Amino acid sequence: MPRHSDPIYLDYNAGAPLRPAVRDVMIEVLGEAGNASSVHGHGRNARGRIEQAREQVARLCNARSRAVTFVSGGTEANMTALTPVWQDQGAPVYLDKLFRSAVEHPSVATGGRFATADQVVLPVDAAGRVRLDQLEETVRDAGPGLISVMAANNETGVVQPLAEIGAIAASYGHFFHVDAVQAAGRMTIDPDAWQADVITLSAHKMGGPQGAGAVVARSTARVPSALMVGGGQENWRRGGTENVAAIAGFGSAGVSALEEAADTRHLTGMKARLEAGLRAVCPSAVFFGEDADRLANTCCFAVPGIAAETALIAFDLERVSISSGSACSSGKVGVSHVLTAMGVEEELARCALRVSLGWSTDEQDVDRFLELWPRIVERLDPEARHRAA
């Protein structure tokens, strides 16, 4: 049980703490010699570690193990997927456009290997979900392209209607990529149900090591062209000597994440109590995506008049780590492009805070946050406790 002097981590969407089981397997692998491309015993042992992890990550994604390609993280995974050149049944296919939502992670919003002129931004509704009618209208008469939509938003936790988007992509002959980085361990991942050609993952979001990710194809006959070339590693889909320890840790984290995704009730309960406590102190609190399907672990909210930057500092001084949104902006606190796309006014968007729970969060962590919240509100804006919703 944490004491008041212990730091509390509530920023799992930025990165989860390393699981003890993951640390153990990584230390074990780091003590072993061998390049996985070597044919001797040490090399075969390293290869075995990678293939075991490949099976573990494949199970997490309801995919075949040969469909899993290990890369250096979520950004490289997305860069690999976002290419206008694919291989389909052994023949190259050239895609005309990238259709991506307005609320994508920066690693997708930059467009990957698509030229800026070949990118189309898809609007979202007030909850941050892709507008299916406009998606269909946009792609109906377009040449073959790639639709890229995240499974769940890193800032708000809002889950996209992936099966419906996949059906539209299939109906009009487009390829479909799902960034499932935030989904792993928090919801079921199923490329078949989504009709997704490829999904992407990052190990450190699920309690694995930083610097490991994966591209998972629904079919090994339909894959994006390689980003990293120069070697035959990863079935020729990603050149470079594999990081065996990180990959082994990724596999171990995948096993735990699969178990946790099957039952998220404890996270749902803690989030509900957290949000009720926030609203009890500040009736004017706004919860973004509240009426949409959200991840069980994510709460993104704002209290008008309490700037996110000031609140973050106040919590940090109390040794509680939360966020103002995405952690991929060089530590800067600015206006969220996600909230802007949802139609949130800039003044309110500058007040947005994100609390994200995970595998080691317990009730005492939530208790401590709710104990601090009224004190911080009183210090920053006493009137906030009396403003109506």
- The Cα 112–Cα 75 span in angstroms is 9
Active site residues: 328
- The Cα 295–Cα 102 span in angstroms is 19
Residue 88 is classified by DSSP as E
DSSP output for 212-247? -EEEEES-TTEEEPPSS-SS-TGGGTS-S---HHHH
**Tokens read off for 263:** 């039952």
Q: Which of 225, 228, 209 is nearest to 217 (CA)?
A: 225
Half-sphere exposure of 31 (CA within 13 A, CB side): 6
Say if residues 317 and 82 touch (Cβ distance below 8 Å).
Answer: no
Beta strands in 73-161 (DSSP E): 85-88, 91-94, 98-101, 119-122, 146-150
Say if residues 246 and 211 touch (Cβ distance below 8 Å).
Answer: yes
Q: What 3-state class would DSSP assign to 95?
A: coil
Whole-number CA gyration radius for the chain: 21
